[in-house]
Structure 1
């Protein structure tokens, strides 16, 4: 069974563990900033939708999405266009890597964002060296805007 559920404060321990796991820490820099965001998800960061990914009832990862206009990021002009959302995702448990969970996470987040009436596109900017994430996005229907180095998925 695969499920994505709202993240709450009781998930902070496992989230903290994942952020310091080598395969996650390589891409999730500044772990204390990520932890602070989750700790303040009901106040300062209430505009970010935080989730825990579970497989067979066990937490295996994290994901989130937000409207770009609510962040302080310009997304190389995509924020100014309006209707832009962004996502972040991770598989925290190393024994769950390369099992198709990443695709399921991105597909689920895409479906959730598509429910927002203003949603026109999803933009993501993984580090170019993160070949697994870049490949995942392409397999989920994202296109690379090579000029801006941002992956974009138009929504219907």
Structure 2
């Protein structure tokens, strides 16, 4: 049976859940210090360039997804088509990792955005994170090149219409 994913806009009511997820070992491994990341994620609630979502599998909160306009903090991505957006995500519930949810909800989200006219979606996983790279590839992204980001070297991956 296929799972239906919903992307509910994140609110301040979700912050305790986000804090718990960021403290989990699987998220902390790739997102880093939970307190620092919580300050960034919670601080982005009022950022006009950032859309934040709680990903639900059926009715169950599963993870977090952020979709952003490329701005000054993404200059390392090089020239991109006008309107390109980036995404980052994590699965917060450890018992849901490794079950195909990541690639499935990423594909569903990006398919919707491309149907709405978005020219390209980009992401920049850590090149040492094979699980994330595999999930993005299964969601239709292709490896572009290594890029320098404020967080260090990353693998730029792209998905076009």
TM-score normalised by the chain length of structure 2? 0.81
Aligned pairs, how many?
Answer: 151
1:77 matched to 2:87? The reply is no
Question: Who is 1:97 aligned against?
Answer: 97
Gaps of 5+ in 2: 148-154
When structure 1 is superposed on structure 2, of 100-109 and 12-21 the one drifting more is 100-109
Q: Call closer, same or farther: CA 1:78–1:133 in 2, change over 3 Å.
A: farther
Contact 1:24–1:92 at 8 Å: present in 2 too?
A: yes
Distance in 2 (alpha carbons) for counterparts of 1:48 and 1:29: 20
For residues 78-128 of structure 1, give each alpha carbon's deviation from its aligned partner in whole angstroms, at most 9, with x where no partner exists.
35x4332110111111111122211222123213432554x3211111011
Question: What does residue range 1-156 of structure 1 map to in structure 2 within 5 Å?
Answer: 2-43=5-46, 45-69=47-71, 71-79=72-80, 81-114=81-114, 117=117, 119-146=118-145, 148=147, 149-155=155-161
Distance in 1 (alpha carbons) for counterparts of 2:139 and 2:85: 16
Aligned to 2:31, what secondary structure does the other structure show? coil
- Give the alignment's Cα RMSD to 1 decimal: 2.1
Q: Call closer, same or farther: CA 1:135–1:29 in 2, change over 3 Å.
A: same
| More strand, by proportion | 2
Distance in 2 (alpha carbons) for counterparts of 1:56 and 1:147: 36
Distance in 2 (alpha carbons) for counterparts of 1:19 and 1:147: 26
Distance in 1 (alpha carbons) for counterparts of 2:5 and 2:84: 27
TM-score normalised by the chain length of structure 1? 0.83
